[in-house]
Amino acid sequence: MSEALEALATEAGLVWRYNDGSNQWREAPAESLRAVLAALGYGADNDAAAWENVHFLREDRARRRLPEWLVLSADRPTHIEFCGDGSPEWRLHFENGDAAEGRSDGRIEFERLPAGRHALHVGDDTTTLLVAPDRLDEPPRAWGVMAPLYGLKPESGGGLGSYGDLARAARTLGGLGASFLGINPVHAGFPEDPLNFSPYAPSSRRHLNVNHIAVEGDAGTCDGDLIDYPAALAARRDALEADYARFAAGGSDPAFAAWRAARGEELARFAIHQALSGVHGAYWTDWPEELRDPRNVAVQDFAAANADHVRFHAWLQWRAETQLGGAQKAAQDAGMHYGLYLDLAVGTHPAGAETWADPSLFARGVSLGAPPDAFSPDGQVWGVAPLSPRALADTGFCVLAETLREQFRFSGLLRIDHILGFDRAFWCPEGLPGLYVSMPKAAMLAVARIEAARAGAAIIGEDLGNIPEGLRADLDTSGILGCRVAIFERDWHGSRGFLPSSSYDAQTLASFASHDLPTWLGWRKGLDIAWRERLGHMDPGAAQFETEQRHGDVAAFDDMVGDHSGSPDTMHAFLANASSRLVALQVEDILGVEEQANLPGTVFEHANWRRRLPVAASCFADDERFRRTADIMARSGR
């Protein structure tokens, strides 16, 4: 690897030598570095180009009076110092539209700065001031339930769960004493591709999944254990189109018109994208060239010629927002402290609405993923587009703030999937080994604190995997809770035994597993191992070894809790007594479901995101298993 390439990689924040999740030393090849640098906008095809970009980055850094962003504490006296000659004019544009200005010889003092993202201009330089609370409030000791929204059994028609079913589940669980109801991401998907139903590869994280709108006349059925997405979505779409026809026939609706105007240009672009998808297919990368850029005249001509179709997609978002907001209100009215616990997916689909609307925000030609570890020896490639750290800083972290704000509109608790990406993100060039790209961690955490504090909400950061040194301490300092998954909480450097839940950090959410892991019963039976052997992901010898290991793990867990019955009540009591402030229970474990929601590394080979719950949400309160679980939580003081 040449000196020029290494110098540019260092300047650009690449980490290409690292320990993976199995503590094995890795080094990405030069080809991977060039591909990632190109995705960041730094050409390095040869040494001359690499040196040119090195000099550009160094000179740009040297000439600036201020860094690109600064994190400051809210509501206290502060000052900002900058370098350079003279006494330049400065102007501060506050997030709310107010402004202040002056002239300074290198120091600007403020008696108080309000929380928010503000733009400070000093001479020719602009910096984003991220004025944030130092720490979010600590949540009270509580518990909640994780449930698959799609898997909620419909009670008023339809083939998959709706926001109406979610409201019913929230009312029922709130009555049992739960403080939150967690669900899979509800970001906008791909209505024109009914087989792309993974909630973790969305089209847009700033809009909602319209497939969960409850609508009268939905002829879909919920027979069977598995969801038939093509049939279920077709039936729901037919009912929604009929409902919209009735709505449109009624003339203008002032509430809808006001909402649409308030949502502005960003909603307009999304609705146009959805209308284009209905004509040209789900993925904009397959569209005619003139329609791939929303600024093109052809796109505007299409929108004008198809105004009612565009309005229909805006109306769908209005219906989705109204119903999801209703579910949050139902949860709060039922006594839930947080209400809904939403999940922010780690990235967005490279051919979805977000990357079409503003491709400059995203890196192209690479995917987010994870390095090899004990559970994925070949590493993982998730097929989602990463946000560019350059674009984040250049735009004042607007997209991150808006994305978080959209989640907090409907929730009191938010899980940020793979928050490790706030520190460094693992980028995988196509066909090449991946490497890490450093992210503006302090700035991203500050934005998260700003938005959560505004909403009076709490954040859970999924801090699992190859955890960067210092990240968990930074999360704790910010008041962001980490995750403690009992399956993984073991003495890995000693006996390998399970740790008692009383040893978990207080500033965490504890659970037994997750949607990507086996259920309580499935773990005990080794069903995940059996699936991997059946699918050829594991040879018989390895499967036999893993099965024997699992038998030992189950016995070790049972020995620790002093109960070999295999009852989920015992596991729930173990979690109830955790030091963690929050405890999340999986509805599948309460109901004795064996199969897990998702088997990583598969798409259609395993019934991912398709399993229905065996009990309707309105029946939870009458089910002895739910009442018993709630009593266990109450006895622990939650």
Report pLDDT for 485: 98
| The pLDDT of residue 548 | 97
CB 567 within 8 A of CB 557: no
Is pLDDT of 35 > 90? yes
**Interval 390-405: pLDDT, tens:** 999 999 999 999 999 9
pLDDT digits (tens, 9 = 90+) for 506-531: 999 999 999 999 999 999 999 999 99
Distance CA 126, CA 121 (A): 4
Tell me, letter by letter, the H, E, C secondary structure of 14-83: EECEEECCCCCEEECCHHHHHHHHHHCCCCCCCHHHHHHHHHHHHHHHHHCCCCCEEEEECCCCEEEECC
516/535 Cα distance (integer angstroms) = 17
Q: What's the pLDDT band for 251 if we cut at 50, 70, 90?
A: confident
Q: Are 457 and 180 in contact (CB under 8 A)?
A: no
CA distance 278 to 290: 16
Q: What pLDDT score does 73 carry? A: 95
User: Is residue 372 very low, low, confident or very high in pLDDT (cuts 50, 70, 90)?
Assistant: confident
Query: By C-alpha distance, which of 588, 579, 590, 632 is closest to 612?
Result: 588
What pLDDT is recorded for position 495? 87
Average pLDDT (166-180) is 97
Is the model's pLDDT at 227 over the cut of 80? yes
Question: Which residues are bridge partners to 101 per DSSP?
Answer: 91
Separation CA 421–CA 416 (nearest Å): 10
> Does 349 or 252 have the greater pLDDT score?
349
**pLDDT number for residue 358:** 95
Q: What is the pLDDT, as a whole number, of residue 310?
A: 98
pLDDT higher than 90, residue 306: yes
Where do you find CATH 2.60.40.10 in the chain?
69-132
- Token pair recorded at residue 362: 């995203």
Cβ atoms 78, 70 nearer than 8 A? no
What digits encode the pLDDT tens for the residues 103-156? Answer: 888 889 998 999 999 999 998 899 999 999 999 999 999 999 999 999 999 988
Residue 433 has pLDDT above 90, yes or no: yes
Residues β-bridged to residue 125: 122
Tokens standing for residue 83:
């370098």
Residue the block writes with tokens 């590394």: 601
C-alpha angle 24-507-477 in degrees, rounded to nearest 5: 80
**Confidence at 379, pLDDT banded by 50, 70, 90:** confident
CB-side neighbour CA atoms (13 Å) of 62 = 7
Q: Tens of pLDDT along 461-477?
A: 999 989 999 999 999 99
Query: Which has more pLDDT, 601 or 398?
Result: 398
Strands 187-188 and 180-182: unpaired
Q: Say what the pLDDT of residue 373 is.
A: 79
Q: Which amino acid is at 628?
A: R
- Picking from 506, 410, 467, the residue whose alpha carbon sits closest to that of residue 207 is 410
Residue 103: its H or E element: strand 99-103
CATH class belonging to 69-132: mainly beta
CA neighbor of 85 nearest in space, from 32, 142, 123:
123
Q: Which two tokens stand for residue 517?
A: 């892991």
Amino acid at 212: H
pLDDT in tens, 78-97: 999 988 777 889 999 999 99
Q: Give pLDDT, residue 448.
A: 98
Q: Provide the 10 A C-beta neighbour count for residue 583.
A: 28
Q: What DSSP element (H or E) covers 508?
A: strand 508-511
Instruction: Give, to the nearest 10 degrees, the angle between helix 297-305 and helix 307-333.
Output: 80
pLDDT of 376 above 90: no
Helix, strand or coil, per DSSP, at residue 460: strand
Backbone angles phi, psi at 387, to 5 degrees: -70, 140
**Backbone φ, ψ for residue 196 (5° rounding):** -100, 80
Rounded to two decimals, the pTM is: 0.96
Residue for token pair 């139902």: 330
Work out the pLDDT band at 9, boundaries 50, 70, 90: very high
Q: If you average pLDDT over every residue of the chain, what do you get?
A: 95
